[in-house]
Amino acid sequence: MKQLEEYVRSIPDFPEEGIIFRDVTSVLQDADGLQLAVDTMQDMVKDLEFDVVVGPESRGFIFGTPIAYNLKKPFVLIRKKGKLPCETVSIEYELEYGTATIEMHKDSIKQGQKILIVDDLIATGGTTEAMIRLIESLGGEVVGIVVMIELAGLKGRERLKNYRLESAICYEGK
């Protein structure tokens, strides 16, 4: 049986020289790889009590929805600004070159609900930190974060040290 890491395609010098791009599309394109990714991530949080799964656009949707479905939990979307049809709350956060805004429906999280964030990857932790602030602004409590890939060299874990963070694969570099 293949290990999850074997399904991840590594592309050297993309998007720039010295960077190894970890491509999750190769996992998604393989039925066994996709099932292994979802099962592994779900297993990492089997001891966690939570009410809602939250995932960011777009790969958080891919991994978060089957976990929510399997565990009979609701799934809540976090999207880029202007993509949700109802009343939203939003947060702007810093990127390496500029800023971005994410938002979620104002009625998607209830006061006191325990939240699991699911995403494909954590790098610097900036986007995840913004998601946490957005969820907490609605009264939710983030009790865990699970990702398929962690790029440890970018120190996202340090940025999120007050939250439980599980990663199915951890690469030491960037």
Report yes or no: 1 and 30 within 8 Å, Cβ to Cβ.
Answer: no
State the catalytic residue, choosing from 49, 87, 96, 172: 96
- Using CA of residue 10, residue 163, residue 116, residue 82, what is the dihedral sign? negative
14 by Cβ neighbours in 10 Å (0-12 / 13-18 / 19+) ranks as exposed
Give the side-chain half-sphere CA count within 13 A for 45: 31
State the catalytic residue, choosing from 59, 79, 103, 150: 59
CA–CA gap between residue 146 and residue 126 (Å, rounded): 15
Task: Tell me if residue 133 is catalytic.
Answer: no
Task: Tell me if residue 59 is catalytic.
Answer: yes
Selection from 119, 103, 112 nearest residue 53 by Cα: 119
Torsion of CA 42, 46, 52, 56, to 10 degrees: -30
User: Active-site residues: which are they?
Assistant: 59, 96
